[in-house]
Amino acid sequence: MPDENTLPELTSLEQEIYSWQTSIEGFGEMGQRKLKGASVLCIGTGGLGSPLALYLAAAGVGNLGLIDFDVVDFSNLQRQVAHGESTVGKLKVDSAKARIADLNSSINVTTYNMRLTAENAMEIFADYEIIVDGTDNFPTRYLASDACVLLKKPYIYGSILRFEGQASVFDSQLGPCYRCLYPEPPPPGLVPSCAEGGVLGILPGIVGLIQANEVIKLVLGVGKSLVGRLLLFDALTMNFRELKLRKDKSCPICGENPTITELIDYEQFCGILPAEDSAADAEMEIGVEQVKQMLDAKHAFKLIDVREPSEYQICRIAEATLIPLGDIEAKDLAKLNGLNPDEEIVLHCKAGVRSMKALKALKEMGFSNLKSMRGGINEWSEKMDSSVPLY
């Protein structure tokens, strides 16, 4: 953190803006100057990154880094509050930077329109004191945590799915790292992404602000941080639980005898399919254009929707029959709505992940003439039938 003798002074406008904050006993002008001199990197400007960046800027954290490679989409607006309808189609980092400038023009914002990788993480992280993760994938979490351990920086973690969230502070100088909690990533596809599993729009706001609160406490050196604690939140019951975390002496990066001394291939570590496996999966896929041609030609096949009933109610392809993935993975023929192992079957979901899992489960049951519709109903809506709403 910055030396108190070199902390930036507050302008008269800043003194006015932060007056309700500096009036807190024990905070004062010195606390505000600490925030102004702090530098924080936000990985992602989506569900978690939006409230995180906005509230850090509003609180007066003087130097913010924003890294993201995506563009704003209408489906983001339900939870990604840094963006709006006027910025749909624009880079998320540019949209968030503009929103921050309107909220607090004194904040210095540096944007990185790129994917975080093992090749660029160390260089980017070097310019920031605290790293906050607002992503929703395991390779980036392991990458960010490992980089923070190697650079001896705190890593503030947040995770959301459906109605539940998690948050913690991993600082290998004071306690466990992310690998101490999760030594191995889950098998690919076991934990759905937010796009597949959904997320309550309010939830990232709650968890993102918990992350922002941890940032401010670290900068000010006050309170009790979430180091060594995992906070679990259930929005349905409004219940917070806490798990105690311990440093793993055998952790391969922060333990007594570390074996990881530099960043690794995190896609491979997390089991992301190598090129040859991806090619094999591609052979089991069919494009939305081909499916449309088959339907128009009255070709004899079954189109099966493997989403949940709640998703089916939102939008559907008229010719599709609903058989949720869970029923297929139960491998009970009675739940398969009379599917015949010999007939031609095309499976679809929202984006193509669950339909591929359903395909593999059906293959294990003896079904052979199977295809997964690439891109799911989202791609169908974009390319074939715009009257089918995106969600």
Q: What is the pLDDT of residues 332-387, one digit of tens each?
A: 888 898 898 989 999 999 988 889 989 999 999 999 999 999 999 999 998 999 89
- Is 194 tagged catalytic? yes
Separation of alpha carbons 59 and 32, rounded Å: 8
- Please answer whether residues 323 and 347 qualify as being in contact, where contact means their C-beta atoms are separated by less than 8 angstroms: no
**Which of 240, 241, 233 is CA-nearest to residue 162?**
233
Query: How many CA within 13 A on the CB side of residue 186?
Result: 8
Q: Which of 77-91, 115-129, 178-192, 218-232 has the least mean pLDDT?
A: 178-192
Q: What pLDDT score does 280 carry?
A: 54
Please say if the pLDDT value at position 191 is more than 90. no
- Among the listed residues 194, 254, 270, 315, the single catalytic one is 194
Percent of the chain with pLDDT over 90: 80
Mean of the pLDDT values across residues 4-30?
Answer: 93
Q: What is the pLDDT of residues 201-220, one digit of tens each?
A: 999 999 999 999 999 999 99
Q: pLDDT band at 2, cuts 50/70/90?
A: low
Q: What pLDDT score does 1 carry?
A: 53
* Locus of tokens 């010999």: 342
Residue type, 17: I
- Please answer whether residues 59 and 21 qualify as being in contact, where contact means their C-beta atoms are separated by less than 8 angstroms: yes
Please say if the pLDDT value at position 269 is more than 70. yes
Look over the chain and give the mean of its residue pLDDT values, rounded to a whole number. 92
Q: What pLDDT score does 276 carry?
A: 43
- Is 177 tagged catalytic? no
Please say if the pLDDT value at position 188 is more than 80. no
